[in-house]
Amino acid sequence: MKIVIVMPLAEQRGGGEMMLWDLMQQGRNAGVEWLVIFLEDGPMVEQVRKLGIDTRVVSSGRLREIHRFIPTVFKIASIAKRERADAIINWMWITHIYGGLAALMAGLPSMWYQLEVPYDKFWMVRLATLLPARAIVTLSKDGKEAQGQIWPHRPTPLVYPGVALDRFEPSAVPSPLEARRKLGLPLNGPLIGIVGRLQRWKGMHVVVEAMPKVLQKYPDAHCVLVGGKHDLEPDYEDFLKQQIATLELSDRVIMAGLQRNIPEWVQAMDVFIHASDKEPFGIVIIEAMALGKPVIAGNAGGPTEIITDGIDGLLTPYDDADALAIAILRYLDDQEFARNAAVAARQRALDFSTQRYAQNFINAVRSAVSNVS
């Protein structure tokens, strides 16, 4: 089976790019010949090529640039026909507008991976759904339910993402104290941490707002925010800095910026927080759980499918700093509970390997392609 994947981004910016990378790494010897078409040039093109996978670049520009949009569709269709592909898979809904039309032109079945939870505001998702697709693969029950409400109804198989568990194996990284020393973090007192892009819906400001209550009981505690500025919300970083200054937390909250060695940063933390609003899934949650960290995440969306509240983690409402502070203190006050939750978290994370993810994804593709009449 030869499959063309159309990928809009060629630089690692978030979970969607990592999911494609995991699929390419783990799906090379599973009876599928992959061909990846990137709609921009960037580091991932050569990274995927080094895996022995055929890669092409078809620069698409912005979706509204019709003079580039139409040639892009033709080029994708031409490549798929020339390479005798069996199907086209589009990574993310926006790519299906290109690849779905290309599949129609080439007379091929297509499908796409829905990496968001398509609420009403995503009207473009409705446009993408109008284009034929043998399946729309979803990554959470929340996303599956939301996509299933959009007409026309398409099959929506659920495929959970995975985590490269070998990178987040506790024995593969320094001890928490060694990690703190290596990263220049405070060596004493509890360290609370969060990892994510600097966007409001990711909830960094909620973590900052929760810290004064934590510091009342643990005055030697610190908080570290790991993540870089995002093009869509460039002002959020300054907002956080102002919030930290206003709350007089400049000596307690560390803004670490964008970091690549995430396993070491998470290993340094005593409590890991994922404070997003209706996160579609939450790969970083599983990464922290794989390291055996006590985790707190939002009580809506994907995290609820990963964490069983009170067993292998804690769930709190988005934008509720008081509830978040209470959850942090529950871990810090009850070390036995924290240890038990961490052990259970580590065990739960083993359910989300990249190998399982790749096989489940390939199974969904085979099923969709074989159903073509």
Examine residue 8 and say whether the peptide bond preceding it is cis (omega within 30 degrees of 0).
no
The three-state DSSP-derived secondary structure of 275-287 is CCCCCCCCHHHHH
Q: What mean pLDDT comes out for the span 23-48?
A: 96
pLDDT value of position 291: 98
Quick check: helix, strand or coil at residue 184?
coil
| pLDDT over 50 at 320, yes or no | yes
More confident residue, 172 or 12: 172
The three-state DSSP-derived secondary structure of 210-246 is HHHHHHHHCCCCEEEEECCECCCCCCHHHHHHHHHHH
pLDDT value of position 166: 94
* N-to-C CA span, the chain: 16
Non-local (6+) Cβ contacts of 310 within 8 A are: none
Q: Distance (Å, rounded) from C-alpha 289 to C-alpha 295? A: 7
Confidence label for 118 from pLDDT (cuts 50, 70 and 90): confident
The burial of 107, by beta-carbon neighbours within 10 Å (0-12 exposed, 13-18 middle, 19 or more buried), is given as exposed
Q: Distance (Å, rounded) from C-alpha 196 to C-alpha 194? A: 7
Q: Distance (Å, rounded) from C-alpha 120 to C-alpha 316? A: 24
| pLDDT over 60 at 211, yes or no | yes
Query: Which tokens hold the place of 7?
Result: 């990928």
CB 170 within 8 A of CB 267: yes
Percent of the chain surpassing pLDDT 70: 99
Q: Distance (Å, rounded) from C-alpha 210 to C-alpha 244? A: 11
The alpha carbon of residue 41 and the mean position of all alpha carbons in its chain are separated, in whole angstroms, by 21
The string of DSSP letters for 30-95 reads SS-EEEEEESS-SHHHHHHHTTT-EEEE-----TT-HHHHHHHHHHHHHHHHHTT-SEEEEESHHH
pLDDT value of position 352: 97
**Digit-coded pLDDT (tens) for 124-138:** 899 999 999 999 999
Percent of the chain surpassing pLDDT 90: 91
Query: Which tokens hold the place of 50?
Result: 């080094």
Nearest partner of 70 among 105, 22, 117, judged by Cα: 105
Q: Distance (Å, rounded) from C-alpha 11 to C-alpha 55? A: 14
**Digit-coded pLDDT (tens) for 140-166:** 999 999 999 999 999 999 999 999 999
Confidence label for 373 from pLDDT (cuts 50, 70 and 90): very low
More confident residue, 287 or 260: 287
**Considering the entire predicted model, what is its pTM?**
0.92
Distances (CA, A) of 236 to 104, 143, 224, 229, 254: 41, 27, 16, 8, 15
Q: What mean pLDDT comes out for the span 37-46?
A: 97
pLDDT value of position 129: 94
pLDDT value of position 64: 82
Q: Which domains does the chain have, with CATH numbers?
A: 2-162+354-370 (3.40.50.2000), 170-349 (3.40.50.2000)
Residue type, 147: Q
| pLDDT over 70 at 321, yes or no | yes
Query: Which tokens hold the place of 113?
Result: 């991976």
> Interhelix angle for 321-333 vs 204-217, to 10°?
50
The burial of 277, by beta-carbon neighbours within 10 Å (0-12 exposed, 13-18 middle, 19 or more buried), is given as middle
Distances (CA, A) of 141 to 19, 259, 295, 300: 18, 30, 21, 11
Confidence label for 236 from pLDDT (cuts 50, 70 and 90): very high
Query: Which tokens hold the place of 273?
Result: 């927080």
| pLDDT over 80 at 346, yes or no | yes
pLDDT value of position 298: 97
| pLDDT over 50 at 363, yes or no | yes
Residue type, 228: G
Nearest partner of 43 among 64, 26, 20, 62, judged by Cα: 20
Average model confidence (pLDDT) across the chain: 95
Confidence label for 121 from pLDDT (cuts 50, 70 and 90): low
